Amino acid sequence: MSNKTLPVERRLDLRRVTDVKVFANDGVQLKKCRLRDISVSGAFIETKEFPLAKGAEVELVLRVRREGRLTHFRLPAKVIRVTPDGAALAFVDLDEMLRQIVFDIVNVDQSEQHSDPSY
């Protein structure tokens, strides 16, 4: 029997698992990625062909249906963890409108289509 302790889940926010195509912009390149999950404080994107460094500043570009129209929103973020599959992002300096958009995405009824997966 091992004395190893299990890792403690450090997330405080509700996380929504997704499978949505998004764009990530590191200031040099704009690349299509897959949004794997999102919370009001951050997201995880699969970036196998778009290496990001821990500490890098990026923009996560989402296409969201609001008031019947598809609109692009740019979420400023910082890379806080890198894995072989992608990068964990922490949102930074979101204004009230962007915070509300992310909140709505995370908390929308699962039967509703909020982000556009056909990106």
pLDDT digits (tens, 9 = 90+) for 16-46: 888 889 999 999 999 999 999 999 999 999 9
In a domain, 66, yes or no: yes
Residue with more model confidence, 75 or 6:
75
Per-residue pLDDT at 51: 84
- What CATH number does residue 74 fall under? 2.40.10.220
Q: Supply the range of the domain harboring residue 82.
A: 15-105
Residue with more model confidence, 6 or 108:
108
In a domain, 85, yes or no: yes
54 has a pLDDT exceeding 80: yes
Mean pLDDT of 3-13: 49
In a domain, 64, yes or no: yes
In a domain, 72, yes or no: yes
Tell me, letter by letter, the H, E, C secondary structure of the chain: CCCCCCCCCCCCCCEEEEEEEEEEECCCCEEEEEEEEEECCEEEEECCCCCCCCCCEEEEEEEEEECCEEEEEEEEEEEEEECCCEEEEEECCCCHHHHHHHHHHHHCCCCCCCECCCC
Per-residue pLDDT at 65: 82
When divided into structural domains, the chain yields a total of 1
pTM: 0.79
> What is the share, in percent, of the chain residues with pLDDT greater than 70?
80
Return the top range by mean pLDDT from 1-15, 73-87, 97-111: 73-87
